[in-house]
């Protein structure tokens, strides 16, 4: 799937948010500037979150209220899955909300096997290629 700009990345995120159910974990992969946070803003909007969504780079987890709670993780500053586990991540993963984990490849051992994987690949023309694997999101977007 191609996203020509940030707005379309957010719009795709909004579609994902509308399709998500409680206990959906979305594992983002992609380098700096790939569009992970933009897509998380869209997911939050799809979940009915009204407040601004910012990257939790320093706080590690941001919590938002919407139709379902939205838990936004950033694992960039973590060095292992154990560090994510020390944040009691499973409480969020298996709770009543939707979780998005940026930089999930850094903590992959802690991510549930059932997670939806979203890979964002920046292209030379400024667009992004987006690969999504995992039910029910993959099915909802096809």
Report the pLDDT value the prediction gives residue 5, as an integer from 0 to 100. 67
How far is 136 from 142, CA to CA, in rounded Å? 10
Identify the CA nearest to 102 among candidates 51, 136, 62, 48: 62
Report the pLDDT value the prediction gives residue 140, as an integer from 0 to 100. 75
Q: Are 94 and 21 in contact (CB under 8 A)?
A: no
Report the pLDDT value the prediction gives residue 4, as an integer from 0 to 100. 63
| Cis amide linkage into residue 104, ω under 30° from 0 | no
Q: Where are the domains of the chain?
A: 2-141
pTM of the model: 0.92
| Phi, psi angles (nearest 5°) of residue 32 | -60, 135
3-state secondary structure of 104: helix
DSSP assignment string, 16-74: HHHH--TTEEEEEE--TTSSHHHHHHHHHHHTT--S-----TTTSEEEE-SSS-EEEEE
Digitized pLDDT (tens) for each residue of the chain, 142 residues in all: 766 667 788 999 999 999 999 999 999 999 888 889 999 999 999 999 999 999 988 889 999 999 999 999 999 999 999 999 999 999 999 999 999 999 999 999 999 999 999 999 988 888 889 999 987 787 777 7
Identify the CA nearest to 28 among candidates 142, 132, 127: 132
Report the pLDDT value the prediction gives residue 128, as an integer from 0 to 100. 86
Report the pLDDT value the prediction gives residue 13, as an integer from 0 to 100. 94
- Residues linked to residue 63 through DSSP beta bridges, in sequence order: 71
Domain 2-141: CATH architecture, name and number where available: 3-Layer(aba) Sandwich (3.40)
């Amino acid at each position: 799937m191609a996203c020509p700009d940030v707005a379309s990345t957010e719009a795709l995120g909004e579609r994902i948010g509308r399709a998500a159910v409680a206990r959906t974990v979305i594992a983002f992969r992609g380098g700096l500037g790939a569009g992970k946070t933009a897509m998380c803003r869209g997911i939050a909007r799809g979940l009915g979150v009204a407040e601004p969504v910012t990257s939790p780079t320093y706080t590690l987890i941001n919590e938002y209220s919407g139709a379902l709670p939205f838990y936004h993780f950033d694992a960039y500053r973590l060095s292992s899955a154990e560090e994510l586990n020390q944040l009691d991540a499973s409480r969020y993963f298996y709770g009543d909300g939707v979780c998005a984990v940026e930089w999930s490849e850094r903590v992959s051992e802690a991510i549930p096997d059932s997670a939806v994987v979203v890979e964002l690949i920046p292209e030379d023309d400024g667009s992004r290629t987006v690969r999504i694997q995992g039910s029910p999101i993959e099915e909802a977007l096809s």
